[in-house]
Amino acid sequence: EMHSKKSQGFRTKTSQAFQKCTNGILLTSDVSARGVDYPDVTHVIQFGLPESRKQYIHRLGRTGRAGKEGCGLLVLFPFESRFVQKELRGLKLIRNEEIEKQLLGPSTNYDDRKVDLPVDGKSIITAQQAYIAFLGYYVDQINRTNIKSKQELVQIANEMAVHVFGLQHIPPLNEQMVAKMRLKDVQGIVLEEDNTISTT
């Protein structure tokens, strides 16, 4: 695992180890997107919405180097399909329905795929942080997605909190955080002070 919150020494050591290994997986942020040569990388799998077409292409540059074949996979939520249609227009992309079936399974019902979160404080805090990060990121990306409003975004986040992140309740947010995210008075937000859901 390698990202900007790791020390430079750790990142260098991890990068060198991955360069030397013959069979491995490196989980990394964009600190590895350019300027580093990893020979013989066969696949680059991107999870989530790239910041731009340029970033998407730079990430793919880790595979298929020196005339070798490579494969790039982009895994998105259904509501992120607008990015592909608008910002990746003109690129030769193939929708892999087989992988899609494996990721989603036979059911589209959230309850059939609910995560059983371990009952410990660390897991709950991590899930709550994931919920907050999801809201904080996508509130600035609405125009690049199929999401039509902030209320719809909150609805998606709340469903994910329970059915994907495995939380029993929607995490409450303090007023300062809600204001920073520009989600004040958006229906579905749970306020920390009284733990009630905003319905205005």
The overall average pLDDT reported for the chain is 85
Position 121 in a domain: yes
Per-residue model confidence (pLDDT) at position 175: 94
Per-residue model confidence (pLDDT) at position 177: 95
Output 175 or 68, whichever has higher pLDDT: 175
Per-residue model confidence (pLDDT) at position 113: 53
Residue 46 belongs to what H/E stretch?
strand 43-47
Position 35 in a domain: no
Check whether 156 has a pLDDT greater than 60. yes
Position 43 in a domain: no
Per-residue model confidence (pLDDT) at position 137: 94
Per-residue model confidence (pLDDT) at position 174: 94
Output 105 or 96, whichever has higher pLDDT: 96
Cα(105)–Cα(99) distance, integer angstroms: 10
Cα(44)–Cα(61) distance, integer angstroms: 9
**Residue 137's domain spans which residues?**
117-199
Output 7 or 32, whichever has higher pLDDT: 7
Distances (CA, A) of 165 to 75, 110, 151: 18, 11, 20
Position 193 in a domain: yes
Position 56 in a domain: no
Give the pLDDT confidence of 47-98 residue by residue, as tens digits: 989 999 999 988 888 888 878 889 999 999 889 999 999 999 999 888 888 8
pLDDT tier at 200 (50, 70, 90 boundaries)?
very low
Please list, residue by residue across 125-158, b when 16 or more beta carbons sit within 10 angstroms of its beta carbon and e when fewer do.
eebbebbbebbeebbebeebbebeebebbbebbb
Domain count for the chain: 1
- Model's pTM, two decimal places? 0.76
Tell me 14's DSSP state: H
Cα(185)–Cα(125) distance, integer angstroms: 25
Position 182 in a domain: yes
